[in-house]
Amino acid sequence: MSSLLEVDKLCVNFGPSRVVDSVSFAVDAGEKFALVGESGSGKTTLGMALLALQPIASGSITVEGNRIDDANRAQRRAMRRQMQVVFQDPFASLSPRMTIEQIVGEGLALHMPDLTKEERRKRILDMLAEVGLSEQGGVTDVLTRYPHEFSGGQRQRIAIARAVVLHPEILVLDEPTSALDVSVQQQVLKLLTDLQAHYGMSYVFISHDLAVVRAMSHRVLVMKDGAIIEEGEAEALFAAPRETYTQTLLAAAAVN
């Protein structure tokens, strides 16, 4: 049985420099998979390549048996419903000129055009309630408000709602809590855990925060200088890392 996401010998260049070097891994349905490493390790570039937001030099990326890397524009657009992303910065990732209804409903309008306006609005409201943003949750007129009227944590919930409303098979999470206060981080991580359990999505969690990775992952891939240096089940890797680089990361983070 093939995996949901398969990456084979993936290489990505920036000019003359190779920033992702022959990376291979697979992610199964419902799995929480983490890419970890220091800044500059190549993990975010790899995540953007998975989303076809970064050109690749060689290798392949396959989702449910379909190649992303050599798909045409129409095929890639169809695949975007299967794989959504939540970015690091909740202040930069939401258009300040769009209402919350427009932001959360944008993907629905594109990928599910047969929905009536009322059906689309109901899905948006249901999703906002699920991420904790509804009139019952103390936010009035949420649909007609704009991102600047919300806190950082609330904006990240809006970004999560925008991604999850499409019921994707894979959610790429690029440092989704690093811009948030510690108390808000915990709330957002709990939300992500609940959503994963509810919808059975696979997570590709990109982070340098090893405590977060340990709490959120089944399996971990450690990157350094664009290459994989260690991979394993999360608990086993944290308990007994083989590589000196991984040991140094864990020691610096005081994760034990």
pLDDT digits (tens, 9 = 90+) for 138-168: 666 899 999 999 999 999 999 999 999 999 9
Residue 233 belongs to what H/E stretch?
Answer: strand 227-233
**Residue 11: pLDDT over 90:** yes
pLDDT of residue 80: 84
One-letter amino acid of 219: R
| pLDDT tens-digit readout, 199-253 | 999 999 999 888 889 889 999 999 999 999 999 999 999 999 999 999 998 888 7
One-letter amino acid of 184: V
**Residue 110: pLDDT over 70:** yes
β-bridge mates for residue 65, sequence order: none
Rg, the chain, Cα only: 18
Tell me the helix, strand and coil percentages in the chain, rounded to 5.
Answer: 40, 25, 35
Q: CA-to-CA distance for 15 and 4, rounded, in angstroms?
A: 31
pLDDT of residue 256: 52
pLDDT of residue 59: 96
Kindly give the pairing relationship between strand 202-207 and strand 32-36. Answer: parallel
pLDDT of residue 137: 62
pTM above 0.85, yes or no: yes
Q: Which residues contact 163 (CB under 8 A, 6 or more apart)?
A: 84, 85, 86, 107, 171
Average pLDDT over residues 42-46: 94
| pLDDT tens-digit readout, 51-100 | 988 999 999 999 988 898 888 888 888 888 899 999 988 888 899 999 99
Q: Which residues contact 249 (CB under 8 A, 6 or more apart)?
A: 36, 37, 38, 210, 222
Q: Which residues contact 113 (CB under 8 A, 6 or more apart)?
A: none
In the sheet with 170-174, reading across from the earlier edge strand, the strands are 83-86, 170-174, 202-207, 32-36, 219-224, 227-233
**Residue 178: pLDDT over 70:** yes
Strands (E), 101-185: 170-174
Q: Kindly tell me the number of DSSP H helices and DSSP E strands found in the chain.
A: 9, 10
Q: Residue 22 in contact with residue 199, Cβ under 8 Å?
A: no
pLDDT of residue 188: 94
In the sheet with 58-63, reading across from the earlier edge strand, the strands are 17-27, 5-14, 58-63, 66-67
